[in-house]
Structure 1
Amino acid sequence: MKPRTHWLRALTVVLVGALTIAVGSACGLESGGALPLPVKPGSITEHEDLKGAKLTVGSKDFTEQVILGYILEFTVAAAGADVRDLTNIQGSNSARDAMLAGQVDLNIEYTGTGWINYLGNEKPIPDVAKQFEAVRDEDLAENDVVWVNPAPLDNTYALAVNQSNLRKLGVTKISQYADLVKQNPAAATTCLETEFRSRQDGFPGMAAAYGFDPGAAQTQILQTGIIYQATANGNCAFGEVFTTDGRIKALNLSILDDDKSFFPHYNAALTMRKETADAYPSLAVVTKPVLDALTSEEMVELNRQVDVDGREPADVARDWLVQKGFVTT
Structure 2
Amino acid sequence: MKKKLLLALLASAMLLLAACGGEQSADGGEVFEFGAQSYTDPKIAAQIVKILVEENTDHEVTITEDIQASPQILASIDREEFDFAMLYSGEVYNNHFDDVEYSTNSEQTIENAQNLFGEEYDITWFDSIGFKNEYAIAIQGQLQDSEGIETISDLEPLAGDLRLGTDTSWVERDNDGYRGFQDAYGFEFGDVRAMEVSLMYEGIKNDELDVVTAYTVDPQIAEYDLRILEDDAEFFPPYDASLVARNEVLDNYPEVKEIFDNLVDTVSTEQMSQLILEVDLNGRSTEEVAREFLENEGLLN
Q: TM-score, structure 1 length as denominator?
A: 0.77
Is the 2:33–2:84 Cα contact (8 Å) retained in structure 1? yes
Is the 1:124–1:263 Cα contact (8 Å) retained in structure 2? no
For residues 283-318 of structure 1, what are the alpha-carbon distances to aligned partners after superposition, in whole Å with 9 as ceiling and x for unaligned?
332123323111111111111111111111111111
- Give, in angstroms, the shift of residue 87 of structure 1: 2.9
**2:19 maps to what in 1?**
none
1:134 to 112, 118, 136: 112
Greater shift in the superposed pair: 89-98 or 253-262: 89-98
**2:34 maps to what in 1?**
57
1:61 is matched by which residue type in structure 2? S
Q: 2: CA distance between counterparts of 1:90 and 1:118?
A: 16
Q: Secondary structure at the match of 1:57?
A: strand
- Give, in angstroms, the shift of residue 84 of structure 1: 1.9
Paired residues for 1:206-285 under 5 Å: 206-212=181-187, 214=188, 217-285=190-258
Q: 2: CA distance between counterparts of 1:76 and 1:149?
A: 19
Q: Secondary structure at the match of 1:103?
A: coil
Is the 1:173–1:257 Cα contact (8 Å) retained in structure 2? yes
Q: 2: CA distance between counterparts of 1:198 and 1:163?
A: 28
Q: 2: CA distance between counterparts of 1:173 and 1:158?
A: 11
**1:153 maps to what in 2?**
131
Is the 2:37–2:69 Cα contact (8 Å) retained in structure 1? yes
**1:203 maps to what in 2?**
178
Is the 2:50–2:60 Cα contact (8 Å) retained in structure 1? no
Cα 1:98–1:142, aligned 2, differ >3 Å: closer, same or farther? Answer: closer
1:192 is matched by which residue type in structure 2? T
2:179 is matched by which residue type in structure 1? P
Structure 1 residue 193 corresponds to structure 2 residue 167: yes
Cα 1:121–1:256, aligned 2, differ >3 Å: closer, same or farther? Answer: farther
Q: 2: CA distance between counterparts of 1:152 and 1:141?
A: 23
- Give, in angstroms, the shift of residue 51 of structure 1: 7.7
- Give, in angstroms, the shift of residue 246 of structure 1: 1.0
1:64 is matched by which residue type in structure 2? D
For residues 102-140 of structure 1, what are the alpha-carbon distances to aligned partners after superposition, in whole Å with 9 as ceiling and x for unaligned?
111011111112342533567632221121111111122
Cα 1:93–1:208, aligned 2, differ >3 Å: closer, same or farther? Answer: same
Q: Secondary structure at the match of 1:300?
A: helix
1:111 to 89, 94, 99: 89
How many residue pairs match? The answer is 276
Cα 1:289–1:141, aligned 2, differ >3 Å: closer, same or farther? Answer: closer
1:294 to 253, 256, 267: 267
1:68 to 15, 34, 45: 45
- Give, in angstroms, the shift of residue 179 of structure 1: 4.1
Q: 2: CA distance between counterparts of 1:278 and 1:179?
A: 56
Unpaired segments of 5 or more residues in structure 2? 1-23
Is the 1:165–1:234 Cα contact (8 Å) retained in structure 2? no
Is the 1:51–1:79 Cα contact (8 Å) retained in structure 2? no
Q: Secondary structure at the match of 1:88?
A: strand
**2:103 maps to what in 1?**
125
Is the 2:70–2:87 Cα contact (8 Å) retained in structure 1? no
- Give, in angstroms, the shift of residue 321 of structure 1: 0.9
RMSD over aligned CA atoms reads 2.4
Q: TM-score, structure 2 length as denominator?
A: 0.84
**2:286 maps to what in 1?**
313
- Greater Cα radius of gyration, structure 1 or 2: 2
Identity %: 25
Q: 2: CA distance between counterparts of 1:141 and 1:278?
A: 15
Is the 2:86–2:244 Cα contact (8 Å) retained in structure 1? yes
Q: Secondary structure at the match of 2:265?
A: helix
Is the 2:36–2:63 Cα contact (8 Å) retained in structure 1? no
- Give, in angstroms, the shift of residue 267 of structure 1: 0.8
Is the 1:290–1:326 Cα contact (8 Å) retained in structure 2? no
Is the 2:126–2:264 Cα contact (8 Å) retained in structure 1? no
Cα 1:300–1:159, aligned 2, differ >3 Å: closer, same or farther? Answer: same
Q: Secondary structure at the match of 2:251?
A: helix
